Structure 1
Amino acid sequence: MDVSKDGRTWRIGTADDVAWLAGRTTQGLSVTTAIPPVFEAYGTFHPPEGVDFHAHERAVVDELVACTPDQPWWLGFLDTGAHDVVFPHAARVSLYWDWPYVLVEAGPEQALGWRVGHMRGGDGALPDLFFPADRSWLVSALWDDIWTDIGASAAILAALRRNPLVNAVLVGPDEDACPPGLSRD
């Protein structure tokens, strides 16, 4: 199925497009609850104190763009019933604990511009889940976490960690994903 927005047609993803991660996460508090254990390195990030969501999210996307060959990105918007999924009439795919996501093939600018507010902070725009077509990294924020998880190469995690606007920390695949200074509600 295709949908239209911004004068273009966008492809809506299917279960086949997320089969590589569906059912491959673990239950618990580790980063592999959101990211399947298939990556070289793992981390978490959230806006540092005093940095607004837009600057933080732009920094995250800019670092990922710099580390990723030009290609489409898959953007996943979790349908909670209370938050923008961008394409409200599009088909959903099930991930994690049968949570419904609208998955659309787009790119970094759409990741930053399509959504108005999300559940993790109100003002941010980033999708709840996104990854490039080559699956070289995966960014995922579970609906009840105020941080975002990532699985990628060590080089991508190093680039994110160098950017003070990203506020990324490394996390081992079996470690609690809650970043230092934050707590679970």
Structure 2
Amino acid sequence: MGVKDGRSWRIGTASDVAWLAGHTTPGGLSVTTAIPPVFDAYATFHPPANVSLDAHEHAVVNELAACTPDQPWWLGFLDTGAHDLVFPGAPKVSIYWGWSYVLVEAGPEQALTWRTGHMRGDGPLPDLFFPADHSWLVSALWDDTWTDIGGSTVVLAGLQRNPLVNARLVRPDEDALPPGLTRD
């Protein structure tokens, strides 16, 4: 358990990410490098021009919360050594190729308030998050400036309709690099 906001939060273990860890395509350029090929649809998103990171991240979480039954969300914070882990002393889980994450069972509110800055900017979003029922997965890999998602066609259609999200559908075998962005 980790303590924050005056209460205890469950810290995740390897069994909580077993459905994900080792089920992605290592070293690839497609969305399945970050998202296992178990979903009906896939997309990438990043803040559109002239939209603040805060407005973008709130829109993403609000769209996901609106189409997800009430349940806990798992929030994953990548241990880069330079970014906020939220629970820095918590045990970590390995998800992608030995990358360590602190995984915490919380919810949409915590996804938008706990963190102070990540690899992609000053926003609070975790590097990885998904609901307890695994109906969708959001993941931003260490070296990407965009975020990947897998889920139902209904979930992705909602994200795609929201102009603050800037979601673009991709096929599982397609290069996930959004138009106008570059790889580092």
Deviation for aligned residue 1:181: 1.2
Deviation for aligned residue 1:119: 0.9
5+ residue gaps, structure 2, are: none
What is the root-mean-square deviation in Å for CA atoms of aligned residues? 0.5
Map of 2:128 onto structure 1: 129
**Residue correspondence of structure 1 range 1-185 to structure 2 within 5 A:** 2-27=1-26, 28-121=28-121, 123-185=122-184
List per-residue Cα deviations over 1:108-162 (Å, max 9, x = no partner).
00000000011112x1110000000000000000010000000000011000000
List per-residue Cα deviations over 1:58-94 (Å, max 9, x = no partner).
0000000011000000000000100000000000000
Report the 3-state secondary structure (helix = DSSP H, G, I; strand = E; otherwise coil) of the residue aligned with 2:32: helix
Report the 3-state secondary structure (helix = DSSP H, G, I; strand = E; otherwise coil) of the residue aligned with 2:133: coil
Deviation for aligned residue 1:180: 1.1
The aligned amino acid for 1:136 is S
- 2 CA distance for matches of 1:52 and 1:25? 31
List per-residue Cα deviations over 1:2-49 (Å, max 9, x = no partner).
011001110000000000011000021000000000000000000000
The aligned amino acid for 2:98 is D
Report the 3-state secondary structure (helix = DSSP H, G, I; strand = E; otherwise coil) of the residue aligned with 2:43: strand
- 2 CA distance for matches of 1:89 and 1:63? 31
Normalised to the residue count of structure 1, the TM-score between the two structures is 0.98
Deviation for aligned residue 1:172: 0.3
- 1 CA distance for matches of 2:66 and 2:155? 9
Is 1:120–1:143's contact at 8 Å kept on the other side of the alignment?
no
Runs of 4+ in 1 over 6 A off after TM superposition: none
Report the 3-state secondary structure (helix = DSSP H, G, I; strand = E; otherwise coil) of the residue aligned with 1:24: coil
The aligned amino acid for 2:144 is D
Normalised to the residue count of structure 2, the TM-score between the two structures is 0.99
- 1 CA distance for matches of 2:2 and 2:146? 30
Equivalent residues, number: 183
- 1 CA distance for matches of 2:119 and 2:182? 17
- 2 CA distance for matches of 1:120 and 1:145? 8
- 1 CA distance for matches of 2:117 and 2:3? 21
- 2 CA distance for matches of 1:141 and 1:71? 22
